[in-house]
Amino acid sequence: MSDASPPTVRERSERVAFRRGISLLALTLLVPGSAQVIAGGRGVGRFALRVWLVVVAALVSFIALALLRRDWALAVYAHPVTQWVASVVVVVLGVGWALLFLDAWRLSRPRGMGRRGWGMAALSGLLALGIGFGSMQASALSRSQAELFGSVFGGGGTAVAHDGRINVLLLGTDAEPDRPGIRTDTMMVASVNATTGRTVLFSLPRNLQWAPFPRTSPLFQLYPRGYWCEDQSCLLNAVHSEAEKHPELFTGVKDPGLAATRDVIAETLGLKINYYAMVDMRGFESLVDALGGVTLDIAKAVPIGGGSSKVEGYIQPGKGVHLDGFQALWFARSRHGSSDYERMARQKCVVNALAKQATPLNVVTRFTELARAGSAMVRTDVPTSQLARLAELADAGRRLPIASVSFAPPLIEPVKPDLGLIRQTVNDTIAASVALDKEAREQAQAEPAASGGAASGEVAAPVEKVERPAEPVSGGAEEAKPVVAKTAPKTDATFSEERRTEDLTEICGVS
């Protein structure tokens, strides 16, 4: 015989009230405003329902647009005005939703729940705080995106492919307190197949002389035979500063230095430039840190410091060496005990590694940090309307090997370069890259359609070896090996004089 006594009328009433309160909170969580319509405050509830329906309709419309025209959807999303509006709207909606939870708690009549009323109050408060905090974080993310899109992606480049390729000028600036103007000490052009994303990197040395200006460039008036001075000071990395000295020649041009640098590099390589991206090397470490660092196979120790400052240590050689932003910056810029040409190879290696390791997931999870770093140190004329297209090309390209050409000795002599040889090398290298795409296409078409589980008539994508980041070493002495040490270990590694991908694996490789 049970000793439990049946619940009293009051206890049953408290249980019913508690279940009713839980139901109202659940309805508010799923369909904001529905609890108010059911429990009393119909005016507030109907208004909240209308707002909720508008939000759902907007989300559905955006998803439909993304499925039909991904480029349009990304252009709308990436527009700074969209993000600024979203940063305000999401806070207003979050605050309104939080107040609906508190109102649902009020409508549940917590006094009629007895001791359970305290639990209901705590649950309502937690839900309101969670929604409010989440909306504040979402608003901060939107503001970060608005700042990034507004300050970095200025637009102005051309989306029209030239001979089936998108050519992007990559500039690394390194202004120093002891010298006037900006010097573009890193100058590369990434020539990307507009269909497959296969990429070739062309590097030009900072000390190149006789670089030609096109006739359309204002500096052609001063240097019709190419950029050269008797005192040997007219080097390629000084073109930016030279243009800044003559603003009167660049009527209506916002950035004469950039325009002149773009013109002279395009003319030297014989390529038409679609876009540029300029990175301040002093802020480069912020970008690498925002991405979580970069991992390389390093064959030769690289000094930190040198020149006018003492060497503070050496980045140690090894497999799968993980560098933070400070270390990656010195790895890319150090010239102590080496040459400009070796530094060019290391810079391309870092660019290659970042291209391979900056996955979409990594970018999304670290977007706020990237926005903070990027808005302070990166400029480009890529418009937000082209972000989707370029992102797809970048994602396809990171799965393929990146070929490389350094216009350095013995291929060319910077003091008196053979411009015809430079342009012929560019053409031959691009032709070789196109041939690789054609070979991959033909190989894919020759494979049986059924081998990849594809339906009859489908063409399977070519399978190529993908370089993946090395797994971290766990346990043993390897784990404690320092990235930076006071001395440089002796190795047999020497700088490769090869012109193509070998120079990315002799000094450093992408693990």
- Kindly report the CATH number assigned to the domain that includes residue 436: 3.40.630.190
141 and 173, same domain (yes or no):
no
Output the average pLDDT for the chain. Answer: 80
In this structure, are 142 and 179 located in the same domain? no
- What is residue 450's predicted lDDT score, i.e. its pLDDT? 47
Instruction: Give φ, ψ of 496 to 5 degrees.
Output: -80, 135
| Region 351-365 average pLDDT | 67
Instruction: Please tell me whether residues 186 and 297 are part of one structural domain.
Output: yes
Do 371 and 349 belong to one domain?
yes
pLDDT grade, residue 83 (50/70/90)? confident
Q: Are residues 14 and 137 in the same domain?
A: yes
CA-CA distance, 161 to 154, in Å (whole number)? 19
Question: Does residue 97 fall inside a structural domain?
Answer: yes
The continuous run of DSSP H or E covering 394 comes out as helix 387-397
Numbers of helices and strands, H then E, in the chain: 15, 12
Q: What DSSP string describes 227-243? A: B--TTS---GGGHHHHH
Tell me the pTM: 0.68
- Domain identity same for 223 and 137: no
Task: Say how many CA atoms lie within 13 Å of 104 toward its Cβ.
Answer: 35
pLDDT at 448 over 60: no
- The per-residue pLDDT for 213 is 96
**Do residues 235 and 284 share a domain?**
yes
pLDDT at 243: 93
Range of the domain at 400: 165-447+465-510
pLDDT confidence tier of residue 459, bands split at 50, 70 and 90: very low
Strand partners, 171: 187, 278
Please report where in the chains the tokens 């497959």 appear, as a residue.
196
Residues 297 and 428 in one domain: yes
Indicate whether 453 belongs to any domain.
no
Q: Can you give the pLDDT at residue 473?
A: 38
Q: What is the mean pLDDT of residues 223-231?
A: 93
Q: Fill in the DSSP letter of residue 153.
A: B
Within-domain flag for 160: no
Q: Looking at 131-140, 298-307, 432-441, which range is the least confident one?
A: 298-307
Mean pLDDT of the region 485-509: 60
Mean pLDDT of the 270-274 span: 95
Is 456 part of any domain?
no
Helix (H, G, I), strand (E, B) or coil at 186: strand
Q: Are 434 and 426 in contact (CB under 8 A)?
A: no
Residue 169 belongs to some domain of the structure: yes
Cα 415 to Cα 35: distance, rounded to the nearest angstrom: 79
My answer on whether 439 and 484 are in the same domain is yes
Are 14 and 99 within one domain?
Answer: yes
Lowest average pLDDT, out of 16-25, 182-191, 435-444, 455-464, goes to: 455-464
Closest CA to 279 of 217, 350, 338: 350
pLDDT at 351 over 90: no
Each residue of 404-447: pLDDT tens digit?
Answer: 888 988 888 999 999 999 999 999 999 999 999 999 888 888 87
Q: How far is CA 231 from the centre of its chain?
A: 41
Are 144 and 235 contained in the same domain? no
> Among 28-32, 362-366, 449-453, where is mean pLDDT lowest?
449-453
pLDDT tens, 163-198?
999 999 988 886 554 555 567 878 889 999 999 999
Residues 6+ apart with CB under 8 A from 17: 108, 109, 110, 112, 113, 116
Question: Of 97, 117, 151, which residue constitutes the final position of a domain?
Answer: 151
Q: Kindly report the number of other CB atoms within 10 A of residue 66's CB atom.
A: 16
Tell whether the model's pLDDT for residue 464 goes beyond 50: no
The pLDDT value given to residue 371? 59
Residue 65 has pLDDT above 70, yes or no: yes
Name residue 187's beta-bridge partners.
171, 204
In a domain, 4, yes or no: no
Q: What whole-number distance in Å separates Cα of residue 358 and Cα of residue 111?
A: 55
How many domains is the chain partitioned into structurally? 2
**In a domain? residue 132:** yes
Of 106, 128, 151, which one is at a domain's C-terminal end?
151
Residue 117 pLDDT grade (very low, low, confident, very high; cuts 50, 70, 90):
confident
- Phi and psi (nearest 5°) for 326? -60, -45
Looking at 127, 151, 175, the residue that finishes a domain is 151
Backbone dihedral angles phi then psi of residue 188, each to the nearest 5 degrees: -135, 155
Q: How many angstroms separate the CA atoms of 174 and 279, rounded?
A: 9
For the record, the structure tokens of 487 come out as 């001395």
Residues 187 and 134 in one domain: no
Residue 362: predicted pLDDT: 59
Strand-strand pairing, 403-406 and 199-204: parallel
Does residue 459 fall inside a structural domain? no
Q: What is the rounded radius of gyration, in angstroms, for the C-alpha atoms of the chain?
A: 30
